[in-house]
Amino acid sequence: MTTHTLAPVRSGQRRRLSAGKLAAWLVVGLAIFITLAPFWWVVRTALSTKKDLLANPDSILPVGFTWLNFGRVLGQVDTATAIALGGSGQKINFWLFARNSAIVTSVTVVGQTFFSALAAYAFARLKFPLRDPLFNLYLAALMIPGIVTLIPNYLLIHRDLDWGNTFLGIVAPTLLMSPFAVFFLRQFFLGVNRELEEAAALDGAGTFGIFWRVILPISIPPIATLALLTFVGTWNSYFWPSLVGKDESVRVLTVALAVFKSQTPQGVPDWTGLMAATLISMIPTLGVFLLFGRRVVNSIQFTGFK
């Protein structure tokens, strides 16, 4: 009797569990579709000719398949061919702008990661007057939208420091640290065993020596995660570089793409060339997440972010 009464219950539990799994997979599938659909639209457009694309705008697959849009963006196609493909014939110095983006991103990643680590360690371990109130005040900056500080930063860079159209002007606002970076690393430093620091202090190491020889080596995972997040954010930044770096010599790739979009004949956007350039510019960030995405997720979970 007991066996007969338990069997339907277990069967119902399995059915409910299967329904829950099905719903979860549907949600995951929908999220994947929402994420990948725009990316496929970029790929499809980049591999199409402009004439065929305008004639078949609803096509899921590339129309008039061609690789020449990538060659046009990279300057490997002559002017006549570029115009025939629907471009303006304007040259885009893609490698110069990619180099500029690499310079801005590298300097920002190194500077922001290092100085944020110093500040985070100070807030986590050093004792000084008003440490906690200062940290809370600093943390409040996380709730201030970046647009609020845009005008003061712009006036400071252009009018007071005369750093307009320079790499220094582009990286200055985020070079030293960011509230998120300090908070992120402080959460990790608070969990570090103090015995390691005490042992180093007994060996004669000073505060900076402990930080450099003990804390940094065991903090590589969260520091690498912060560096990756900073890399992606800086590489994709547009608004501030467009204000400060208007000159072509310091123009970054995101700004160059916007300029390239405006260089279109008859006012019709050059979608095929623009998407080809966008796809190439996405390679560094996609590569970073494909190689280190799991480490990013694990480090964020470890430091208490959900």
Burial of 273 (0-12, 13-18, 19+ CB in 10 A): buried
Mean pLDDT of 125-149: 86
**In the chain, pLDDT over 90 holds for what percent of residues?**
32
Q: Which two tokens stand for residue 81?
A: 């061919």
Q: Which fold has domain 94-263?
A: MetI-like fold (1.10.3720)
Residue ranges of the domains in the chain? 94-263
What does the pLDDT look like over 70-83, one tens digit per residue? 887 777 766 666 66
Task: For residues 83 and 277, give the distance between their C-alpha atoms in angstroms, rounded to a whole number.
Answer: 16
Q: Which two tokens stand for residue 151?
A: 């005008």
Degrees, nearest 5: CA angle 71-73-78 = 60
Mean pLDDT of 93-116: 93
Task: For residues 92 and 85, give the distance between their C-alpha atoms in angstroms, rounded to a whole number.
Answer: 15
Reference 102, options 285, 268, 242; nearest CA is 285
Task: For residues 78 and 221, give the distance between their C-alpha atoms in angstroms, rounded to a whole number.
Answer: 47
DSSP 204: T
pLDDT of 101 > 60? The answer is yes
Confidence of residue 306 (pLDDT cuts 50, 70, 90): very low
pLDDT of 288 > 90? The answer is no
Burial of 7 (0-12, 13-18, 19+ CB in 10 A): exposed
Residue 92 near residue 256 (C-beta atoms within 8 A): yes
Confidence of residue 251 (pLDDT cuts 50, 70, 90): very high
